[in-house]
């Protein structure tokens, strides 16, 4: 049976300041965001009724919009309140939340200065991002590269930047992989299509420096957890030629959480002590009621 479509569900969506029935959350065809990708969004999770790092996500939504040249009509505190109320109204203490801000219909064309800015928040139940998460996922090398910082606003979680992620993920699943690992415009390893990436070598954690992709909130959390354990973390340029020297690999993201990787393009990896320890620490942190 086909999964229930995302536009045909019970419950509530917060849209432009009020809660409306889920099925009524519609936008017109002639909406700037639909044609020109003038939208920014967030993906976050609630654990036991508490949204993990809610304020950081709301602030990143603001930053993302600013990088695209628009300002949100709601303060981060208001967005936080709306998200929290949505979680309780939906009666889903463990859920995924999607906040989105976009340019409306007042002006159509490349220029968008006269468009109103809208904000909405939806939520849904989302278990593991990858079906066989704990078994470890298999990554292909993506056919698309992360653009240079002077090619696109790379620090914005902007809808338009996901075009190459969707293409890369489709290429990976078409070839029998779970996801793709994207290089950047220089040929250095960048990230997954919706998650950051970490490598382990001789007890040290290595991760690409986020100068052309999102410095994920989960990425920053995991770096903090590792350092609290006294583990050395090196943020640096990582080249594909180094892959064989790593023993463990994992992905991090709000949806992916910490997902072990068991293969990159034919090269096997074995999730072991480091991945397991960070996974346990991350679970302990997110499940703690005051983790926000």
Q: Which residues bind ligand PMP (CB under 6 A)?
A: 43, 165, 191, 194-196, 213-214, 216-219, 252-254
Residue 83 C-beta: closest distance to ligand PMP, Å:
15
Residue 166 C-beta: closest distance to ligand PMP, Å:
11
The residue whose Cβ lies closest to ligand PMP is 216
Residue 6 C-beta: closest distance to ligand PMP, Å:
18
Residue 130: CB atoms within 10 A of its CB come to: 20
Q: Where are the beta strands (DSSP E) in 7-152?
A: 12-15, 18-21, 39-47, 50-51, 95-103, 117-124, 137-146
Residue 174, CA atoms < 13 Å, CB-side half-sphere:
9
Return the number of the residue (112 or 180) whose C-beta is nearest ligand PMP: 180
Q: Are 55 and 292 in contact (CB under 8 A)?
A: yes
Return the number of the residue (32 or 219) whose C-beta is nearest ligand PMP: 219
Return the number of the residue (94 or 107) whose C-beta is nearest ligand PMP: 94
User: How far does Cα 166 stand from its chain's mean position?
Assistant: 13
Return the number of the residue (111 or 173) whose C-beta is nearest ligand PMP: 173
Q: Is 201 a catalytic residue?
A: no
Residue 137 C-beta: closest distance to ligand PMP, Å:
15
**Active-site residue (options: 71, 157, 227, 289):** 157
Residue 82 structure tokens: 């709306």
End-to-end CA distance of the chain: 37
Which residues carry out catalysis? 157
């Amino acid at each position: 049976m086909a999964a229930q479509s995302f536009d045909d569900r019970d419950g509530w969506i917060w849209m432009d300041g009020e809660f409306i029935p889920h099925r009524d959350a519609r936008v017109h065809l002639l909406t700037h965001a639909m044609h020109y990708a003038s939208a920014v969004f967030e993906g976050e999770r609630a654990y036991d009724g508490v949204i993990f790092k809610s304020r950081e996500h709301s602030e990143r939504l603001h930053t993302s919009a600013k990088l695209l040249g628009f300002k949100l009509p709601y303060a981060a505190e208001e967005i936080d309140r709306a998200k929290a109320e949505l979680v309780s109204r939906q009666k889903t203490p463990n859920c995924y939340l999607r906040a989105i801000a976009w340019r409306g219909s007042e002006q159509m064309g490349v220029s968008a200065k006269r468009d109103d800015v809208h904000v909405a928040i939806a939520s849904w139940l989302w278990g593991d991002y990858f079906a066989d998460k704990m078994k470890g996922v298999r990554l292909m090398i993506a056919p698309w590269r992360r653009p240079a910082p002077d090619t696109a606003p790379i620090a914005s979680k902007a809808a338009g930047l996901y075009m190459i992620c969707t293409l890369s993920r489709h290429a990976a699943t078409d070839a029998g992989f779970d996801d793709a690992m994207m290089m950047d415009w220089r040929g250095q390893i960048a990230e997954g299509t919706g998650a950051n990436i970490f490598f382990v070598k001789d007890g040290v954690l290595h991760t690409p420096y986020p100068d052309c992709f999102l410095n994920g909130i989960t990425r920053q959390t995991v770096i903090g957890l590792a350092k609290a354990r006294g583990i050395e973390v090196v943020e640096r340029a990582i080249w594909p030629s180094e892959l064989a020297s790593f023993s463990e690999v994992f992905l991090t993201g709000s949806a992916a959480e910490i997902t072990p990787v068991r293969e990159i393009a034919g090269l096997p990896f074995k999730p072991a002590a480091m991945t397991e320890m960070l996974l346990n620490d991350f679970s302990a942190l997110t499940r703690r009621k005051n983790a926000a």
